[in-house]
């Protein structure tokens, strides 16, 4: 058995909203359509990456979900990531507001939100703030709680800043520097995926604004909603956690159930990078949950 499912069926009232005070950012995205068009319309999926990620991280899984479910998948770049614009405000209310703007711009209805890590808290925030425009959510290895990020994220920022200070011209040079901050080749490759060479320049730079994201690390550990007696999302919610990760502990399950009273839990034998570590198990979990949504 690859996963354990926990069902919480209690339905509770919903109230309360929170808003961002910063301007919306238009989000870059990749569109993944089903290989075969059908007469029956299916609701779209918005797929959101984690910190230092981008839409390309979810490209393969987005194509698989579009194929398996017959649903259009929008893999987006959240603000200050990938090809989306930079903005000095980087918190969950602002990112959720960007995604709401994306839904409005593309006139999407019945939307499913899938988010990993930072993207998961963005999905939860939008679902609690604007439940009428969301059909259901999938939160991958994060919970609606205040919890400090791993100290490694601060080290990643230090290493990436060092790479820019040195002014490297080759990827292998950047990797040698980053080895001093992160042992895992897989994680280093993930971080270095943000490197690019500006036109007519020899020195590589990072697409992500390191100063902004470095200053936002404390905010990214927090969750903007504190009281589940004031606001709840009473539609379906799937929480996927890596059993080797610390982000969704057993102690967090009661608060998840209060904010998301219809949540289901899937455990996958993996660390924090659930999707890349165990893509087939993740696909199965998504297929089971989202196929039910297709049939609703």
> Which positions ≥6 away from 40 have C-beta within 8 Å?
none
Q: Six-digit token pair at 268?
A: 């996958």
Catalytic member of 20, 62, 117, 276:
117
Contact (Cβ atoms closer than 8 angstroms) between residue 142 and residue 165: no
**C-alpha distances out from residue 252 to 2, 34, 121, 265, 284, Å:** 21, 36, 14, 12, 24
Known catalytic membership, residue 272: yes
- Which secondary-structure segment (H or E) carries 112? strand 111-116
**Nearest-10 Cα torsion for 214, 53, 103, 247:** -80
C-beta atoms surrounding 208 within 10 Å:
22
Q: Which residues pair with 6 in a beta bridge?
A: 265
Known catalytic membership, residue 117: yes
End-to-end Cα distance, the chain: 26
* DSSP-derived secondary structure letter, 131: G
Catalytic member of 32, 49, 272, 289:
272
Could you tell me which of 289, 238, 273 has the C-alpha nearest to residue 68?
A: 289
**CA–CA dist 229, 170 (Å, integer):** 53
CA 232 to chain centroid, in Å, comes to 20
Name the CA radius of gyration of the chain, rounded: 19
**C-alpha distances out from residue 102 to 30, 58, 95, 133, 279, Å:** 13, 18, 11, 11, 27
**C-alpha distances out from residue 70 to 34, 67, 73, 230, 295, Å:** 5, 5, 9, 36, 12
Which residues form the catalytic set? 117, 272
């Amino acid at each position: 058995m690859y996963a354990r499912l926990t069902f919480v069926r209690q339905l509770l009232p919903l109230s309360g909203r929170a808003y961002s005070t910063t301007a919306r950012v238009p989000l870059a995205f990749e569109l993944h359509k089903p290989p075969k068009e059908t007469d029956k319309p299916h609701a779209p999926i918005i797929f959101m990456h984690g910190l230092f990620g981008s839409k390309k991280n979810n490209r393969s899984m987005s194509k698989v979900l579009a194929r398996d479910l017959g649903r259009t998948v929008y893999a987006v770049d959240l603000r200050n990531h990938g090809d989306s614009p930079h903005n000095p405000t980087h918190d969950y209310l602002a990112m959720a507001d960007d995604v709401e703007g994306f839904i409005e711009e593309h006139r999407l209805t019945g939307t499913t939100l899938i988010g990993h890590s930072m993207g998961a808290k963005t999905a939860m925030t939008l679902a609690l703030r604007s439940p009428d425009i969301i059909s259901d959510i999938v939160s991958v290895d994060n919970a609606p709680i205040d919890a400090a990020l791993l100290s490694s994220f601060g080290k990643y920022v230090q290493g990436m800043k060092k790479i820019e200070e040195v002014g490297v011209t080759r990827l292998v040079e950047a990797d040698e520097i980053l080895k001093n901050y992160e042992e895992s080749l897989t994680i280093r490759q993930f971080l270095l995926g943000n490197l690019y060479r500006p036109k007519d320049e020899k020195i590589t730079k990072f697409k992500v604004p390191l100063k902004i994201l470095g200053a936002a690390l404390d905010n990214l550990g927090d969750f903007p909603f504190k009281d589940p007696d004031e606001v709840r999302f009473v539609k379906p919610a799937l929480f996927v956690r890596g059993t080797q990760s610390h982000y969704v502990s057993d102690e967090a399950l009661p608060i998840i159930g209060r904010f998301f009273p219809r949540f289901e839990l899937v455990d996958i034998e993996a660390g924090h990078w659930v999707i890349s570590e165990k893509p087939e198990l993740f696909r199965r979990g998504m297929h089971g949950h989202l196929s039910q949504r297709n049939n609703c």
